[in-house]
Structure 1
Amino acid sequence: MMQSLFFVFFLLHLSVIVFNPRNLLIAEALTAHSDITALKAFKASINASSISTWSCLASWDFTAADPCAFPRRTHFICGVACSADSSRITQLTLDPAGYSGRLTPLVSHLTELTILDVADNNFYGEIPSSISSLVKLQSLTLRSNSFSGSLPPSISNFKSLQSLDISRNSLSGSLPNSMISLSSLRRLDLSYNKLTGSLPRKLPYNLLELALKGNSLTGCISKDSFDGLTQLEVVELSENSFAGTLGEWFFLLPSLQQVDLANNNLTRVEIPKPGLAGGDLVAVELGYNKIDGYAPVTFAEYPSLSSLSMRYNRLRGRIPLEYSRSKSLRRLFLDGNFLIGRPPARLIASDSQVAGSLGDNCLQGCPGNANMCSPSQKPNSICKQAYGGKLRS
């Protein structure tokens, strides 16, 4: 009798294993109908000829499997992730397989999405405004595609968004002032687009990284835009047309570490003492501007500054001796200015720990065999002209 009961129990246990949907190749429908409809529309909006046989999208076969069914041996092998109960799509992350097409507005039906990433493909057209319905989105990555049009003002609805990367596209228009509403945003990268206008009146308060390189932004770098950004560590605004004075307030941002403002039209930079500022500056890039005056001595006092570039500006006078005494400085680019006198001996010594360039200035005693003295200095006639015909030694 006991053996018979054990055999019945064994059969029941086996039936649970056999008929558990997660142990079948093709399980019953698990994913919400609205999510399946959205995924079908997403795939249909991509040119079939751009879907390679080895790609994620090639494995999306809605007639053979449910997107959230397990195991994923032959269908939906990548590109989607599902909630714990396998009913909702939570991540849509395409592989960089050269997909070409538009981003369907129906992607907004995937209301449980936390990650949307279609980077490094060939998507084109405007970013649909309906995308703002994805209120749980934490990361939106559309980098390196061909999206055009303006940045939808409705992005202000992304209250949970922490990372926004739409760099290397063809976005145009100005940055909406509504960006201040992105209260959770930590990383913003809109570099290498065709954006115009000035910085927003206010930037999101919780930013750690701000990258707007390679656009056509103009105006001054206003204190108001950065007011309250106590956590900001990285600022990359190079290759724009920002002009005017960069005030002390900028370097007083308490968490600032890396600054890249190269290739703009800045004419003046005010540097506070590191005791007033956070003192955590690691790298400063101010090359290819129109900065006039003397090379700022104060930079040498920042205890963590390892890289400084003010190349190809309009600096005059001598190279501060303090630069050669800095214990942290390892890269120094002052080439392409109108600096005079003899460079600090420690900078051009064969055993110098500082790399970079002091070339294309008006220096004396900068030997051609010294790495730091390349390229050669400016002709004497140009130097005299820069100093009104009276070149000081």
Structure 2
Amino acid sequence: MLNLLLLLLLCLSSFLSSLPQVQSATLPSDIYVLKALKASIKPNSISPWSCLGSWNFSIDPCSLPRRTSFICGVSCSPDSTRVTSLVLDPVRYSGTLTPLISQLTQLTQLDLSENSFYGPIPSSLSSLAKLETLSLRSNFFTGTIPSSLTKLASLVSLDFSNNALTGLLPVTLSSLSGLTTMDLSFNKLTGSLPKLPPNLVNLALKANSLSGSLSPSSFQGLTQLEVVELGANRFTGAVQAWFFLIPSLQQFDLSNNSFTSIEIQKLGNTKNSNLVAVDLGFNRIEGYLPVNLATFPQMASLTLRYNRFRGPIPWEYYKKVSNQSLRRLFLDGNFLNGKPPAGFFSTGSGSSVAGSFGYNCLESCPASSQLCLPSQKPTSVCRKVYGGRTSP
């Protein structure tokens, strides 16, 4: 009988050990931080059905299975002892970001996007040595970008877009050697571009108040850079040949700035370029349309609209369209004159291009063609620009 009882106890012990472990395993300091985060958010912005609404601290955050508590927002290490990811749902939680987040030292991902957090970004985030993804996109954060964040050596993706951040970009930005994607668009940042992180692939700084000229020193060594978005800032001066020849560059947007010239007369060899799309619209660029832009073999979209270009549309642009390479060509809002190549308006290859030649000083631009909309500038305006005549 005793042996049977011992056998039953052994079986029961084995069965219990096979059950999911629900006892508290999460490091107490991690639980403390999660409690502080929830406490820093206004209760009326926490819906019962939201991630934070499910956080019930009578249950261990990293325990499994999770059926009614901590159903989302938190991911933990394989041994269920540390919080490794904090991704809140975009339901407009309102509150400040507690500096205690820095105590989640195993965190690799912090994403609070599309909520209503406000106040400064805590400089203590620099203690998150393993952080790879940091996104505070579409909130109401104010103040400057803490320079201490450039100590995040493991950071791969940084997104602070759509906030109200002010001040200069950190001068030590280039120390983020692992960073491949950075989006700081739609803020109120000022000053010039510092030296950028060397392994950037995607750079977005559009819709700020950045100023100064584009300097080669800012982009030095960026051999992997594919996309540059600097539109809607206050950059001035020339867009020079070196910028077009950034080794891996595929597309760039420098529209809505105050650039005054494109200096690519001696552009050099472009046959190995991957440049596909260029947007330099809504600047103050003067001179003739750069013929060299037609030498980029992959060029599919070219926007030079609403500048101060004059002279004829180069025949090389039409050749680029006729060989089915250039698919978008926006030249409207300049002072271009003469007769555009007739092939643009034929039923052949030229008809496949999307864009506009409107609001220039062109002659013989067919009113029936979509390319000629809107209508050309008044003759009086064109004669004033060209000293009493509208054609060469």
- Please name the residue that 1:40 is paired with: 35
Question: What SS class does the counterpart of residue 22 from structure 1 fall into?
Answer: coil
CA offset at residue 273 of structure 1? 4.3
- RMSD (Å) for aligned C-alpha atoms: 1.8
2:318 pairs with 1:319 = no
Q: Which residue of 1 aligns with 2:329?
A: 332
Q: Structure 1 residue 244: deviation in Å? A: 0.3
* Matched position secondary structure for 2:362: coil
Instruction: Give, in whole Å, the separation in 2 of the partners of 1:349 and 1:100.
Output: 58
Q: 1:345 is matched with which residue: 342, 345, 353?
A: 342
- The answer for unaligned runs of 5 or more in structure 2 is none
Deviations 1:156-175 (A, max 9, x none): 11000000000000000000
- Normalised TM-score (structure 1): 0.94
Say if 2:241 and 2:267, in contact at 8 Å, map to a contact too.
no
Match of 2:62 in 1: 68
**1:255-266 to 2 correspondences below 5 Å:** 255-266=248-259
Question: Structure 2 length normalisation: TM-score?
Answer: 0.94
Contact 1:238/1:261 (<8 A) preserved: yes
Give 1:242's aligned residue: 235
Contact between 1:143 and 1:167, CA under 8 Å: does it hold in 2? yes
Task: State how far apart, in whole Å, the 1-side matches of 2:340 and 2:8 are.
Answer: 88
Aligned-pair CA distance for 1:350: 4.2
* CA-CA distance at 1:236 after TM superposition: 0.4
- Give the aligned residue type for 1:31: T
Task: Give the one of 6, 16, 19 matched to 1:18.
Answer: 16
Paired position in structure 1 for 2:372: 373
The equivalent residue for 1:299 is 293
Instruction: Summarize the Cα distance change of 1:301–1:283 in structure 2 as closer, same or farther, 3 Å threshold.
Output: same
**Cα distance in 2 between the residues matched to 1:145 and 1:109:** 22
Partners of 1:294 and 1:225 lie apart in 2 by: 28
| CA-CA distance at 1:363 after TM superposition | 0.6
CA distance in 2 between partners of 1:183 and 1:16 (Å): 50
Are 1:206 and 2:199 counterparts? yes
What CA deviation, in whole Å up to 9, does each residue of 1:323-380 have, x standing for no partner?
1111311000000001111112222234511101010001111111101111001111
Residue 57 (structure 1) shift: 0.5
CA contact (8 A) 1:21 1:70 kept: no
Pairwise CA distance, 1:16: 3.3
**Letter matched to residue 39 of structure 1:** L
8 Å Cα contact 1:102-1:123 kept in structure 2:
yes
Q: Identity of aligned pairs, percent?
A: 57
Paired residue secondary structure (2:41):
coil
Q: What's the CA shift for 1:278?
A: 4.2
Aligned to 1:80: 74
- Residue 298 of structure 1 and its aligned partner are, at CA, apart by 1.3
**Are residue 147 (structure 1) and residue 145 (structure 2) matched?**
no
In the TM superposition, residue 390 of structure 1 has moved relative to its aligned partner by: 2.8
The alpha carbon displacement at 1:274 in A equals: 6.7
Whether the aligned pair in 2 keeps the contact of 1:350 and 1:370 (CA below 8 Å) is no
Structure 1 regions of 5+ residues with no counterpart? none
Alpha-carbon distance change, 84 to 338 in structure 1, aligned in 2, over 3 angstroms: same
Alignment partners' CA distance in 1, 2:268 and 2:370: 30
